[in-house]
Amino acid sequence: MLNVGKIEEGLVLDHIKAGKSMGIYKHLGLGRSDYTVALIKNARSNAMGKKDILKVECDPDALNLDVIAFIDPDITVNVIRNGEIVEKRKLALPKMVTNVIRCTNPRCISTIEQELPQVFYLADSRHKVYRCRYCDERHTEKGSKSWFQ
């Protein structure tokens, strides 16, 4: 059995769909940070069959929860202080995401002007449809080849 020690302060991201933790790791910039990170892939779960778990020892307010919610809004975020869970946060799809997905419209100003941020707003929360702020191009998780940058 795998045993990963507890953290004193930070976040435990639980109930991540199996295989999605690396995308979260990348988009949170954890590879460029000096945080202690434990990534568990394909852990057994009674409710989900398999799941991923991320433990990040950091200031609990340091990570962008909108990125996490965009990738998988069903993730449970456990806030840890002094080695104990002090809060469980349920996430919702963010109203706007910046530099997480890329516009695929070749005529979009964000494609031409590379320094512009890639900004998308939530157009349909039921179907997880986002639209480009500049050209209104529609992006969905299933329909876009370049969903994540």
Is 76's pLDDT higher than 70? Answer: yes
125-140 confidence digits (pLDDT tens): 999 999 999 999 999 8
Is 80's pLDDT higher than 80? Answer: yes
The CATH 2.30.30.20 portion of the chain extends over 96-140
The CATH 3.30.70.140 portion of the chain extends over 10-90
Share of the chain above pLDDT 70, in %: 93
Task: List the CATH code of the domain at 10-90.
Answer: 3.30.70.140
Is 60's pLDDT higher than 90? Answer: no
The pLDDT value recorded for residue 144 is 46
The pLDDT value recorded for residue 43 is 87
How many angstroms separate the first and last alpha carbons of the chain? 35
Res. 145 pLDDT band, cuts 50 70 90: very low
pTM, to two decimals: 0.77
- CATH 3.40.190.10 given to domain 96-140: no
Res. 114 pLDDT band, cuts 50 70 90: confident
Q: Which residues of 20-59 are buried (b: 16+ CB within 10 A; e: fewer)?
A: bbebbbebbebeeeebebebeeebeeeeeeebbbbbbbbe
